């Protein structure tokens, strides 16, 4: 018999596995879901995008690279629900793709009204106002008019495309959620246009966007507290959808400006210290994200833990934040940085990719995740057709508190995995109490 120990990322639980020589200890399938905005979807990663129009999802984005790395040791399917232009509200709320309706018409025999069921069925049969991405994208359909002539009726429909809430892809089976979020809530694309794009940018408009001076436009520094509150609420709700042993990873953004002393001018009439102010603005954004994550983790609701890779190192002395990784490789508002890891307008005519990580930048985001391994979410399992004896050794001391729930869930998952992948299995449970004589538990 071959003895193997399954080391679990669960507090207070150890498992001793006694398996036949034909079986091998490995990680089970690890379900990964990607949510968020354009920095998650993959804008700038490649020119081969897929998925719903306007989302710019890429198979070459940082999450796919991280998934491939995980796949070297465990099956790690990835579901991408991130979409360019996404805001915090799109995680749990549907997102409209504009107010303009798509018009579609069908013709059916006889004289019927616009609400005729047969006409609606014909619309479905012809696959009009129908998405290729069910569960991700959908259409709201409204009958607009009916016109009858010569024994038939043409019914016209208005169809509005919308994205389903991204979080619908997340369930108790999800082990890891990855996302970037918050930039568009602060008007990222408008800030880029007014502060960086040659021929369009304007110091006065840039100042207004970065500082948040327009009370009718939720942008810039003054709007950060509102975005922080929305992030906190969203993360708490996301935690509730997941198991306590799962993880949510929020990644930050790189600086949009390499240098502190960059100033933009408009024909000597106006100027703005872009470098200093936009970097300050982004630091405030990191701090807000960090507070939102801390508040979510401190909430009383049970659920997945949240990790923030943003303002300060979070995984020991070797971990680097996104901004640290991109240091010296950011774009600049004056001149050109040939060593940049971010797409600029001179690189492509596809404006949706401007000021997003290029292929090298995508690699750096992936490395930021690799430094954390699997975030403790991969649960060991036994592969092969052999027989397995599994012994759980569990700390039942009162000091375990609420963590005992996570231990129970983890044990149940491991039992299910062993049963599914072995010819036969036996299970035993041993409990113990640490320092019982001292704590009286």
The pLDDT score that the predictor gives to residue 300 is 85
pLDDT at 266 (0 to 100): 77
- pLDDT the model gives residue 399: 52
Work out the widest C-alpha separation in the chain, in whole angstroms. Answer: 94
Same domain, 18 and 61: no
Report d(CA 386, CA 388) in Å as an integer: 7
Q: Are residues 225 and 244 in the same domain?
A: yes
pLDDT score recorded for residue 424: 73
Nearest to 434 by CA among 385, 394, 381, 376: 394
Both 39 and 79 in one domain: the answer is yes
From first to last of its 441 residues, the chain has per-residue pLDDT tens of 333 333 333 334 444 444 433 333 444 689 999 999 999 999 999 989 999 999 999 999 999 999 999 998 889 999 999 999 999 999 999 999 877 899 999 999 999 999 999 999 999 999 999 999 999 999 999 999 999 999 999 999 999 999 999 999 999 999 999 999 999 999 999 999 999 998 889 999 999 999 999 888 888 999 999 999 999 999 999 999 999 999 999 999 999 999 999 988 877 778 899 999 999 999 999 999 999 999 999 998 788 899 999 765 554 445 688 999 999 999 998 888 999 999 999 899 999 999 999 999 999 999 999 988 998 887 555 555 467 777 877 766 655 555 565 566 566 656 655 555 556 778 888 877 655 444 445
User: Which residue, 124, 146, 163, sits at the end of a domain?
Assistant: 163
Q: What is the DSSP letter of 23?
A: -
Check whether residue 272 and residue 314 sit in a common domain: yes
Query: Of 163, 191, 212, at which residue does a domain stop?
Result: 163
318 and 407 share a domain?
no
CATH number at residue 281: 3.40.50.1110
Provide the 3-class DSSP secondary structure of residue 130.
coil
- How confident is the model at residue 81, as a pLDDT? 98
Q: Are residues 77 and 104 part of one domain?
A: no
Which pLDDT score is estimated for 408?
Answer: 66
Looking at the structure, tell me whether residues 65 and 188 fall in a common domain. yes
Domain count, the chain: 3
Q: What is the pLDDT of residue 278?
A: 95
Interatomic CA distance for residues 245 and 323, integer angstroms: 28
Residues recorded for the chain? 441
Neighbouring residues of 27: CB distance < 8 A, sequence distance ≥ 6: 73, 74, 374, 378, 379, 380, 381
If asked whether residues 182 and 316 sit together in one domain, one would say yes
3-state SS, 98-129, equals CCCCEEEEEEEECCCCCCCHHHHHHHHHCCCC
Taking the C-alpha atoms of residue 441 and residue 438, their distance in angstroms, rounded to an integer, is 8
Contact 276, 207 (CB under 8 A): no
Give me the residue label for tokens 């089976």: 173
Phi, then psi, of 415 in degrees rounded to 5: -60, -45
308 and 231 in a common domain: yes
Residue range(s) defining the domain that contains residue 47? 32-93+167-370
Indicate the burial class of 389 (C-beta count within 10 angstroms; 0-12, 13-18, 19 or more): middle
| Residue that has been written with the tokens 């004896």 in this structure | 389
Rg value, the chain, Cα: 26
Query: Three-state SS string across 212-263, please?
Result: CCCCCCCCCHHHHHHHHHHHHHHHHHHHHCCCCCCEEEEECCCCCCCCCCCC
So what's the pLDDT on residue 389? 76
The b/e string for 297-320 (b: 16+ C-beta within 10 A; e otherwise) is beeeeebbbbbbbbbeebeeeeeb
Closest of 3, 24, 20, 21 to residue 380, by C-alpha: 24
SS3 439: helix
Same domain, 49 and 185: yes
Q: At what angle do helices 203-211 and 274-298 cross, to 10 degrees?
A: 20
Listed in sequence order, the residues at least 6 apart from 393 whose beta carbon sits closer than 8 Å to its beta carbon are 13, 14, 15, 16, 430, 431, 432
DSSP state of 315: S
Token digits for 192? 């880029």
pLDDT confidence of residue 401: 55
Question: Measured between alpha carbons, how far is 250 from 82 in angstroms, rounded to an integer?
Answer: 13
pLDDT for residue 429: 84
Look at residue 312 in the predicted model and tell me its pLDDT.
Answer: 58
Kindly state whether residues 144 and 176 are assigned to the same domain.
Answer: no
If you search the block for the tokens 């306590």, which residue do you land on? 244
Give the per-residue pLDDT at 334.
84
Residues 48 and 78 in one domain: yes
């Amino acid at each position: 018999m071959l003895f193997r120990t399954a080391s679990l990322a669960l507090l207070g639980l150890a498992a001793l596995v006694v398996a036949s020589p034909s079986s091998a200890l490995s990680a089970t399938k690890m379900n990964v879901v990607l949510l968020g905005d354009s920095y998650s979807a993959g804008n700038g990663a490649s020119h081969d995008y897929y998925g719903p129009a306007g989302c710019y999802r890429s198979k070459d984005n940082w999450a796919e690279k991280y998934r491939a790395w995980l796949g070297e040791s465990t099956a790690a399917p990835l579901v991408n629900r991130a979409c360019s232009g996404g805001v915090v509200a799109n995680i749990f709320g549907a997102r409209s793709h504009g107010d303009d309706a798509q018009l579609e018409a069908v013709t059916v025999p006889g004289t019927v009204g616009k609400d005729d069921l047969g006409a609606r069925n014909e619309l479905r049969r012809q696959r009009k106002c129908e998405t290729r991405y069910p569960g991700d994208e959908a259409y709201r359909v409204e009958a607009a008019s009916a016109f009858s002539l010569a024994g038939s009726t043409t019914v016209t429909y208005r169809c509005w495309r919308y994205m389903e809430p991204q979080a619908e892809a997340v369930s108790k089976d999800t082990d890891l959620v990855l996302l970037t979020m918050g930039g568009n809530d602060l008007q990222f694309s408008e800030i880029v246009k007014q502060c960086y794009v040659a021929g369009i940018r304007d110091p006065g408009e840039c100042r207004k966007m970065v500082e948040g001076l327009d009370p009718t436009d939720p942008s810039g520094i003054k709007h950060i507290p509102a975005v922080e509150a929305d992030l906190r609420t969203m993360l708490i709700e996301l935690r509730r959808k997941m198991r306590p042993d799962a993880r949510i990873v929020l990644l930050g953004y790189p600086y949009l400006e390499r240098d502190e002393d960059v100033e933009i001018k408009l024909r000597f009439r106006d100027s703005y210290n872009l470098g200093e102010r936009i970097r300050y603005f982004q630091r405030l954004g990191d701090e807000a994200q960090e507070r939102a994550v801390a508040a979510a983790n401190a909430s009383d609701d049970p659920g997945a833990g949240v990790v923030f890779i943003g303002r300060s190192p979070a995984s020991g002395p070797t971990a680097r934040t996104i901004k640290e990784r991109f240091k010296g490789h950011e774009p600049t508002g004056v001149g050109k940085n040939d060593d940049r890891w971010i797409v600029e307008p001179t690189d492509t005519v596809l404006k949706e990719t401007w000021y997003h990580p290029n292929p090298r930048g995508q690699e750096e985001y992936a490395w930021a995740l690799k430094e954390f391994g699997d975030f403790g979410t991969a649960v060991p399992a036994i592969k092969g057709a052999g027989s397995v004896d599994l012994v759980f050794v569990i700390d039942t001391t009162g000091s375990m508190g609420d963590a005992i729930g996570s231990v129970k869930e983890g044990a149940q998952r491991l039992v299910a995995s062993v049963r599914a992948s072995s010819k036969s299995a036996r299970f035993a449970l041993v409990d113990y109490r640490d320092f019982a004589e001292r704590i009286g538990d």
